[in-house]
Every structure is written in structure tokens, then in C-alpha cells.
Amino acid sequence: MGLSYLMCVFGGWLADTVLGRFRTIVISFVVYILGIMFLPMLGHDGMRGKLCGGRAWIIQPINATKDGTDNQEQYCDSLIYPIIAVIAIGTGSVKANIAPFGADQVKDEGPEVMRMFFNWFYWSINAGVLLSLGAVAFIQQNMGFFYGFLIPAVSLGVALILFVLGQPAYVCRSPSGSVLTNVFRIILEACRSRRRRRRNYSQPSDIDTVVDPLPNPTWLDMAKVRYGGSFHESNVEDVKSLGKILPVFIVLIPYWMVYFQMQTTFQLQGLHMRIPPLNITVKNNDPGQNTPAGQNNSELNGGGLVKMQMPAAWLTLFDALLLLILIPVMDRVVYPWMDRRGCHFSVLKRISLGMFFGFCAVMCAGGLETYRLQLVQNHTITQNISGTSFYAADLWIWWQIPQYSLIGASEVFASVAGLEFAYAAAPRSMHSIIMGLFFFTSGIGSLLGSGLLALVKKFNWVTDADHGNINKGHLDYYFFVLGGLQFLSFVVFNIVAVSFHRAKMKRQKQQAGNGFSSRHLQRSSYVE
């Protein structure tokens, strides 16, 4: 995951500087497919043995063959890690470029159309999540990983073909050259020009005679031609816009720490709650035939009835389902209704509301965990999940639905609006790089959440012993700490947003009075 988010920045730089977004997406798709095509082979017993070979045992287990290898567990580490790295390179580059490329197609249609695009773009992502967790994960667990990996590999190939076929209708923007190099050059030029200007006007009488083209120029303005620098007005303004983008990304990091709990501690909490069985009828002509893959957590009864454990990851489906419902409602009903009444629900306001929902989600998880621990002290039930025994509270896993739903509500606002902000506030020459930074900071949030979890292990709030048994710890304390961090960042974010709003009118007045390009004025109004 870390490499994937790091490659978002590289993929963004590659598109903005060298290849352009279309070619970068195509090349990234090819790399992605080259990596993922090996996964079905590793999921097939016969192919896995040919690719990896058997693992030799010093002390042979019961199921080892005569040559000392184990056919049930193949030693593939030397192949798996390079495959994961290739997949990370491909998916990171696609992430950084696919959203800006899509937004390029509707950029000139106005802010309402732009908002609509990002809403439906995020909706399509979660439609894929629903299919992945609902169907593919079930196939992997109960039919085998060969078919479970084959489906996404074929889907990626079809997606690439469809994407390339649409090339004649696309708006493809050329790369802007060495973007990051220009940023550093402008900063260096601003410092030099500022020192030179101070030296030239060292006498108070001389300073009084200087009339600045703009009142209260910033130090970056010193890189402009009008102040003795060598860079065009728009280039310097592009660099100045980074000062507005990066603080928002940084303040969003605690939100990402909370968001990624859905894929980690929320599922760990669910494994220690009562998980209902799934009763599925299958045709079983041969009574001696093996049960479907995943037989460790299923039983085949007479009459072809298979009892399977519901995957704990399925609760994330409530997050995806809520998004699939809420996004169309917001896009088709709520936002147009607000627009007709002159209520401007800006990007920053939506991010703020999403952060609040994230705070509510993690506090809800903490309250549920406190109650679950109280029940565990009195009574536990034993569940066998994928061959591992979990001592769970006699509390249905459905009680996690509120926290998953609140995370879903937070995504409708914070995640979707974050994508919009990353595109709308970014300079035209840096759309992909800024989008890459957006995903990169979300990856930092994931890593910091894991780091905080490792830190609280020293206080015995969680433990790795006994398959991550959380019954002897205080995972609720961890949730409450995350909630505190999220609330603090929520307050800081709103302070930053208010300062943006107060500075907007002053900045627009200064720029309009000097005949400044309307592009920056429109972008500022849309974002703030």
C-alpha cells in the first residue's frame, strides 16, 4: 500500500511533465495488468507449483511428499513481492491520472458539471468495491482464488480496451514540461529578488518612493517580472496556490487515519462479535466430494446445504451501498435544490461536514467496543473463521452497521470533495501531481494510523498474541484517541477555511483591480 501511494506522486509527475495523462494511463494500465495476470496463476495449485516450486522442510510434516516438499503450501515469497510491487506501480499511476483526465473532459462546462463528474466518478469506484467485496471476495473464499483473481484480471483488460477505443473523443492536454523544477526555480528567484530589492532600496527615502503594482506583495511575488524577477504572473500564482492546497491536505490526514480503520480495526472488532452463518444450497452429486474452497469455515449437510461463515469484510458493503444511494440523492436532489436557492455548498464546507461524520463514526466504534468488552467479561462464544478460533462477545455484528454507515456518509462529503479540491485548486500545469499528493497524504494517514496502533500496544490496549485477541485490551481507547485527533483537525480545518474565506474577497479585489486573469478568480470562488 505504501508503494502504491508513493507511486501516485511519481505517476502524477510523469503525466504533467513528460508523457501527458492519456499515455501515462495507458502505460500504467499495461503495467497493472502485467502484474495482476500472475495472481490467477498463483491461485491455481498446478500453476503455483510450477512457478514457485515446493518448499523443503527440515522436519517433514504429515502431508509432505517423498521429496520433502509440501504441496499444500508453496513457497512463493520471491515471486509474490515483485508482483505486488508491479501492481502498486500500475495502480498508483492510474489513481493519480484517471480523475484529472476525466475532469479535463468537462472542465469548461462549469462548476456544477464538475461537481457532478466527481460525484459519479466516486460512485463508479464504489460500484466496483461492491462487486469486489460482494462477489469476488465470496468466490475467492468459497470457490478458490484462481477464479477470484481471474475475474479482476479480465476486467482490467476489458477496461483498457474500452478506454483506448475512446481516444478520438477525448480532450488530451500536452505535458507542461519540468513542473517541479519550475516550482523550485520560482522559490529561489523570489528569495534572490527580494534580497536584491531590499539592497536597492535600502534608504528610507527610496523606499517611500516605491509604488508596488499590488498592495502588500508576498515574498513569492518577488519572482514576477514586475518586481524584477524573471517569471510570468501566472507561473508565480500557480506556485502560490500550493500554499493553499498543501495545508488542506495535511489537515485531512487525521480523517484518513479514521477512514482506513474500516479496513483494519473495524474488521478486527467484527471478528470478535457474533457472525451469522450463510445457508447456501449447492448440487452435490458425489457424497465423497470435497466441499468448496474455504471448507475450514463451512459444513456440508445432507441435501446439499452448505453452511458458510459470512466474511467479516462484508460489512464494508454497507459503506459502499450507502455511497451508491447517497451520491445520486445528493447529486440529483440536494445539491440542485441548494443551488436554486442560492445556497453555495462549497468544496471546503463539504470536506468539513465529512470530517465531522468521520469523528462520529470512530466515536461510535469506541462506544460499541466499550459495550462489547463488558459483555466479554461475562460470556464469550467461540467462532471458527478460516481455521482460526475467535472468542467473541455474544453481540451480533450488525451493531457495526452505524459506524460503517457514518464512514460512508463521510466519504460522500470529504472524499468526493477532496478529489474536487485537488483538481479545482491545482494549477493547470500540476493537476496530476496535486492529485498524486492527495492520494499520497491519504496513504500517510493510513501509515500513521498503523503507527499509532503499534504505539498503543505498549500500553496493552491491543496485542498480537492469540491471533490479535482484543478481549484482553482496550481497543476502545484507541478509537477515542483517534476521535480526539479527528475533532482537533476538524477545528483546525474550519479555522483554515474561515481564513481562506476572509482572504478571498481581498485577493479577488486586488487581482481584479490589476486586470488579473479570471481563471484564478473562478477557481478561488469554486473552491472556497
Task: Choose the weakest-confidence range: 147-161, 165-179, 320-334.
Answer: 165-179
* Long-range Cβ pairs for the range 493-497 (8 Å, 24+): 493/248, 493/251, 493/252, 493/351, 493/352, 493/355, 494/352, 496/247, 496/248, 496/251, 497/348, 497/349, 497/352, 497/528
Rounded-to-integer distance, Cα 270 and Cα 197, Å:
64
Quick one: which H or E segment has residue 141?
helix 137-142
Backbone dihedral region for residue 222 (phi beyond 0: left; psi -120 to 50: alpha; all else: beta): alpha
**Fold adopted by 252-275+312-528:** Growth Hormone; Chain: A; (1.20.1250)
Give pTM, 2 decimals. Answer: 0.80
The residue written with cell numbers 473532459 in the block is 105
Question: Has residue 62 got a pLDDT over 50?
Answer: no
Cα angle at 466 between 463 and 470, to 5 degrees? Answer: 45
Question: Has residue 440 got a pLDDT over 50?
Answer: yes
Backbone dihedral region for residue 515 (phi beyond 0: left; psi -120 to 50: alpha; all else: beta): left
Summarize the confidence of residues 236-249 as an average pLDDT: 82
Question: Has residue 182 got a pLDDT over 70?
Answer: yes
Note the Cα 73 to chain centre separation in Å: 32
- Encode pLDDT of 32-51 as tens digits: 999 988 888 877 766 666 66
What does 149-172 look like in DSSP terms, one character per residue? Answer: HHHHHHHHHHHHHHHHHTGGG---
Furthest-apart CA pair in the chain: how many Å? 102
Is domain 1-175 classified as CATH 1.10.3720.10? Answer: no
Please check whether the two domains, 1-175 and 252-275+312-528, share a CATH topology. yes
CA distances from 513 to 15, 224, 237, 345, 506 (A): 35, 17, 16, 27, 11
pLDDT at 366: 95
Residue extents of the structural domains in the chain: 1-175, 189-231, 252-275+312-528, 276-309
Burial 460-484 (b: 16+ CB within 10 A, else e): ebbeeeeebbbbebbbbbbbbbbbe
- Encode pLDDT of 101-138 as tens digits: 999 999 888 888 988 999 999 999 999 888 887 777 77
